[in-house]
Amino acid sequence: MNVLVVNAGSSSLKLSVLGEDDAVLAQRHVERWDGTADLDLVLPPVHAVGHRVVHGGTRFTAPVVITPDVRREIAALTDLAPLHQPRALAGIDAAQALFPDVPHVACFDTAFHRTLPAAAATYALPSTWRDRWDLRRYGFHGLSHAYASRRAVELAGGGSRVVTCHLGAGCSLAAVHDGRSVDTTMGFTPLAGLPMATRSGDLDPGLLLHLLNHLTADELADGLTHHSGLVGLSGHADLRDVHTAAARGANAHLALDVFTHRLRQGIAAMTASLGGLDLLVFTGGIGEHDQRLRAAAVANLEFLGVGVDPTLNRGNLPVDSRISPAGASVGVWVIRAREDVEIAEGTRTACSITIPKHG
């Protein structure tokens, strides 16, 4: 059973066809996608299509076959993920135009975090507000956290307490206990948590109220979403450019310091939610490729048993590698992001198709 996986980003479109045992049969990455179905695709036979959708709200806690009603409900969540939800809808529309005769399935980044305990998911807000507007911590990057945590446990031969670090243009951490998410850094929207490429991460709500005395709500939203994070601190959204600039300018150096400081805080907080740590996992574009960031992230976390071997923690790592010293109490792993595997499995589940084991 071949599954076409559609991952529509804020500007790009990633397509992959996964066959039996999740072998990649074809791939296509459109860097600048205009949302149309004119993709000039040459693909092997496709029997189902799986779509990454960032926000599922309280309604969608598992993969679901897309019907007109489901599409409308996904669209109604756009205010909660304005960068991502419209692009997912565009991907759904384009793929349905190209493959109208196969089932299409939505797989939600929020679904993995449906297991958050009330203590982690609940905001200290009036209950009337929480009930009326479904105000809670949803969490995001769930497809990535689910795969990375499971894959690390498989490779390590066990480990019930896992902290996963999805680090890319968007960044979040998750505390995973026996395969279930019990805490995460993102919240009601993907704007919360760690500083990111252009997003602010967590801020004092009083600071936001103060800014509303000087900015409109739209100006504030635009600034927090597009002009904050690394780009706000250094002028560079790409961490590779921040590294290059750090030696020449204090602002870029500060950006690295702020990013790693908050990352260390987050790892320690997720470990506290787990009551200890067996495995620490880095994934995503930064997590997989930036050995300097990985080394900086674990600095001063020796008290948790975390460390990396400088020889193992290098560039051009083999896929799915351990980088902690031999005999370390906590295994530190770099796991290739494979949201496509998670989406393909979810698609087969929703279509009641037997799921082959992945490697």
Summarised one tens digit per residue, pLDDT across range 14-26 is 999 999 889 999 9
**Under 8 Å between Cβ of 286 and 167:** yes
124-133, 286-295, 312-321, 328-337: which has the minimum mean pLDDT? 312-321
Query: Is 117:149 a contact under the CB 8 Å cutoff?
Result: no
pTM over 0.85: yes
Q: List the strands of the sheet with 104-108, edge to edge.
A: 24-30, 13-18, 3-8, 48-53, 104-108, 64-65
Residue 357: what pLDDT?
43
- Its CATH architecture, for the domain 3-108, is 2-Layer Sandwich (3.30)
The full DSSP string for 117-151 is -HHHH--SS-HHHHHHHT-S-----HHHHHHHHHH
Q: What percent of the chain has pLDDT over 70?
A: 98
- Name the active-site residue from 79, 93, 101, 109: 109
d(CA 240, CA 32): 21
For residues 93-117, give the mean pLDDT. Answer: 96
- What's residue 359's pLDDT? 38
% of the chain beyond a pLDDT of 90: 87
* Neighbour-count burial of 235, counting CB atoms closer than 10 A to its CB (0-12 exposed, 13-18 middle, 19+ buried): middle
Query: What integer pLDDT is reported at residue 355 of this predicted model?
Result: 42
Cβ proximity of 16 and 90 under 8 Å: no
Q: For the domain bounded by 156-334, which CATH number is listed?
A: 3.30.420.40
Has residue 356 got a pLDDT over 70? no
Is 109 tagged catalytic?
A: yes
Mean pLDDT of all residues in 257-268: 98
Q: What is the pLDDT of residues 271-318, one digit of tens each?
A: 999 999 999 999 999 999 999 999 999 999 999 999 999 999 998 899
Q: Where in the chain is the domain with CATH 3.30.420.40?
A: 3-108, 156-334
The tokens for 119 are 């203590």
Structure tokens at 302: 């020796």
Least confident of 146-155, 246-255, 328-337: 246-255
